[in-house]
Homo-oligomer: A and B are copies of this chain.
Amino acid sequence: MISTLDAVLLFLAGGDGKSGYDIRRLFQSTPLGVYSDSPGAIYPALARLETRGFFSSKAETEGRRRRVYRRTRAGDVALRGWIAAPIARTPTTRNAEELDMRFVITAQFVSWGEAKRFAARCEKAYAADVEALEAFLADHGQDMPRASRAALDLGIRNYKTRLRWCRDIIADKGVGK
């Protein structure tokens, strides 16, 4: 089993490979910045993945010191396995960001069509979440303090936003067209 960060690293370091520093800069300069750019997170993660055989690395000799990691065949397999895993559980709150990453990586690493099918699966999960939260609100809304009710409402709105996004993806609408 690989973590979300592992998957992102494997994804980024395909083709020509990437150094730890390259990845840190990507995390700093793009909205990928959800992940920590701290060296204490990146370098050990790369080293671990190499130990597990998912990366091979080469120290560049000319110019600046630089160790370039490149995804191996085994790394390919691991990444494909991560993509194919079932959508863990609802409520999805905690893995929402992981699902987003999976969408992007699936589109790039497999195909847009497959990413759309994944979005369709996400849609179902989000719909279940909305239903569960709305049921909870109907059951306990009256007994809850105002602020808790409001927070629950925010949760519902968040899932509905995701739901609509999935539908737009499936229908080829919006920015992602």
**Chain A interfacial positions (CB closer than 8 Å to B):** 30-31, 33-34, 91, 93-94, 97, 100, 103-104, 106-108, 112, 115, 133, 136-137, 141, 145-155, 157-158, 161-162, 164-165, 169, 174-177
Contacts and interface: CB of A to CB of B under 8 A. Distances in A.
Give the most central of A104, A107, A136: most B CB within 10 Å.
Answer: A104
In terms of DSSP, what is the predominant structure of the interface of chain A? helix
Contacts of A137: 175
A104 B137 CA distance: 16
Contacts of A97: 93
A10 B152 CA distance: 21
A90 to B, nearest CB: 11
A122 to B, nearest CB: 11
A11 to B, nearest CB: 11
A107 B175 contact: no
Given A34-B94, A161-B158, A149 B176 contact: yes
